[in-house]
Amino acid sequence: IDKKDAALAMAHIYVGFAALALGGFAGLLQVLVRSGRFTLPAGIGYYQVLTVHGVLLGLVLTTFFILGFQHAAISRTAGTYSGKSRFMGWLGFWVMLLGTTMAAVMILLNEATVLYTFYAPLKAHWIFYLGLTFVVVGSWLGGAGMIMKYISWRKEHPGQPGPLLTFMSIINTVLWIVATIGVAGTVLFQLLPWSLGLVDRVDVLVSRTLFWYFGHPLVYFWLLPAYMAWYVIIPKIIGGKIFSDSLARLSFILFLLFSIPVGFHHQLVEPGIDAYWKFLQVTLTFMVVIPSLMTAFSLFATFEMYGRSKGATGLFGWFKKLPWGDARFTVPFIGMVAFIPAGAGGLINASNQMNQVVHNTIWVTGHFHLTLATSVVLTFFGIAYWLVPHLTGRILTKAMNKLAIVQAIVWAVGMSIMSGAMHAVGLLGAPRRSSYSTYGDAPQALDWIPYQIAQAIGGTILFMGIILVLYIFINLAFFAPKGEEEFPVGETADTAERTPMALENWRIWLTILAALILVAYTVPFIDMIQNAPPASKGYRMW
């Protein structure tokens, strides 16, 4: 891609990997503390370190990496950015970086130990909330740059569907913009005034609901770039074709429609929300599983078509034909395999009765270390292994390719141990987000100890994985031999149907999206506001 666009994308990716280094270290400290064998020095608190870990890895690494990747993907498939798009991209980057710095300083000063979900009643310094506001506004500016490029492409190519990777990036951007309205609402109207002392109390239920209106689509904002790689990039890397352009687009549209009106599945045990609305949102949650099943189907089809074209026979003969020695394929593939148990865990979480068992246990932490920290993050690493050299004008050498495969195996082993132990001990009732000294040393908790130690072992192996990926990243960014690394973009299979233009009719999809959000949230919000007890009673208010 164009050098100036490459610089914009790389700027985001540098910040993402810096967050990985610091956030990963915080993760190591955490599993050690939870094992009960280690105490943090200098009076640093467990929850402070947990906040550093969650914010840096869950919010900073993801948002910066995703925006960087999407800028590159759009520039590659829709063409070089105009001056205006690039300006918006840079403006967004600097505003986000300013916001991140403000929030990070407050966390390090222990003025914002509110975890990565930061909803009330935990309260942070106002600078933290202002920083978050800048991060969100910055991401909107960057997103606006992408949308401007897409609009100009469509004007130049009337009657044609946008390039698939660009279309997918725009879906993810729209999803992000609609989702962040919720978090902007709670930050601007509740948390900022409260932390500035302008109001005494805030309604915690409203704060949590606005957060989860954002918090669930957030996880698909993380997932969709991985799906972009699985749908569009992996077929090219293995030498095959995309099974169907229309299927890929439809699955992204379904994510846009169904990922937002489902936040209540994080609030199933919460009083103050009528069971009817929880039921409705759980039903919608099961709808958002469908595009993932479509993705699994499409991936198997791509692999099988490719394998058969190479002479594979039998039901699974294609498996042997895949390019196992190529890190650009193998690393994300390990992520795909992890997504099968990870997704199954999600279905358990979403089932009302089973949620009563797992909610607020460390099972949930196990779930998102398989989804986000394995499927998504390994795919991001797999992307970085060709994207970083592509952007810096270098190549992925054979030695780095091998090391990248070793890295992914180390990661998979560490994560299987850590996340497996989290799932298991969660079923024994071990709570999430609690320091060893909060519950772990109680006699009733003795059964948990072996699992906590397994978590520490898994977490330590994972930390080695982080050191390896950082080593590879620094090599690819600064030291690998100069050359041209391909930005792979797959073509659609000849057998696929033509893509209907209705799939790119934003009027239809945005109308359905607005209708679904209104149906899922209007009455519950009216209920919350009408039934809120007077502030003087204190209930639900802090």
Tell me which residues touch ligand HAS (CB under 6 A): 117, 219, 222-223, 265-266, 285, 288-289, 292-293, 295-296, 299-300, 336-337, 339-340, 343, 346-347, 349-350, 355, 359, 364, 367-368, 371-372, 376
Cβ 178 vs Cβ 260: under 8 Å: yes
| Active-site residue, from 69, 220, 243, 487 | 220
Min CB(162)–ligand HAS separation in Å:
24
Min CB(405)–ligand HAS separation in Å:
17
Name which of 150 and 306 has its Cβ closer to ligand HAS.
306
Nearest residue to ligand HAS, by Cβ distance, number only: 343
Name which of 349 and 401 has its Cβ closer to ligand HAS.
349
Q: Is the peptide bond before 500 cis (omega within 30 degrees of 0)?
A: no
- From the list 46, 5, 4, the residue with the least C-alpha distance to 27 is 46
Min CB(340)–ligand HAS separation in Å:
5
Query: Which DSSP string do the residues of 190-249 spell out, in sequence order?
Result: IIHHHHTTS-S--BHHHHHHHHHHHHHHHHHHHHHHHHHIIIIIHHHHHT--BS-HHHHH
Name which of 336 and 400 has its Cβ closer to ligand HAS.
336
Sign for the CA dihedral angle at 525, 530, 532, 535 comes to positive
- From the list 97, 105, 28, the residue with the least C-alpha distance to 60 is 97
Active site residue 369: yes
Name which of 333 and 436 has its Cβ closer to ligand HAS.
333
| Active-site residue, from 53, 125, 208, 216 | 216
Active site residue 368: yes
- From the list 326, 327, 257, 329, the residue with the least C-alpha distance to 299 is 329
Phi, psi of 431 (to 5 degrees): -75, 155
Sign for the CA dihedral angle at 349, 350, 354, 359 comes to positive
Active site residue 367: yes
Active site residue 71: no
| Active-site residue, from 369, 390, 394, 423 | 369
| Active-site residue, from 154, 201, 359, 433 | 433
Min CB(212)–ligand HAS separation in Å:
8
Beta carbons within 8 Å of 534's beta carbon, 6+ residues apart: none
Active site residue 381: no
* Three-class secondary structure of residue 541 per DSSP: strand
Min CB(131)–ligand HAS separation in Å:
20
Name which of 70 and 349 has its Cβ closer to ligand HAS.
349
Name which of 88 and 338 has its Cβ closer to ligand HAS.
338
Beta carbons within 8 Å of 216's beta carbon, 6+ residues apart: 259, 260, 262, 263, 265, 266
Whole-angstrom distance, CA of residue 392 vs CA of residue 98 = 25
Whole-angstrom distance, CA of residue 517 vs CA of residue 263 = 10
Name which of 193 and 431 has its Cβ closer to ligand HAS.
431
Active site residue 423: no
* 40 φψ region: left (φ > 0), alpha (ψ -120 to 50), beta (else): beta
Min CB(535)–ligand HAS separation in Å:
27
Tokens describing residue 208: 């949590």
Sign for the CA dihedral angle at 471, 476, 482, 486 comes to positive
| Active-site residue, from 255, 258, 368, 451 | 368
Tokens describing residue 56: 């840096």
Whole-angstrom distance, CA of residue 327 vs CA of residue 416 = 20
Name which of 292 and 392 has its Cβ closer to ligand HAS.
292
Name which of 10 and 415 has its Cβ closer to ligand HAS.
415
State the DSSP code for 55.
I
Residue whose token pair is 């506004």: 137
Whole-angstrom distance, CA of residue 213 vs CA of residue 1 = 36
Min CB(39)–ligand HAS separation in Å:
25
Whole-angstrom distance, CA of residue 39 vs CA of residue 254 = 46
Cβ 518 vs Cβ 213: under 8 Å: no
| Active-site residue, from 328, 367, 394, 540 | 367
Min CB(416)–ligand HAS separation in Å:
15
Min CB(386)–ligand HAS separation in Å:
20
Q: Write the single-letter amino acid at 222.
A: W
Catalytic positions are: 216, 220, 367-369, 432-433
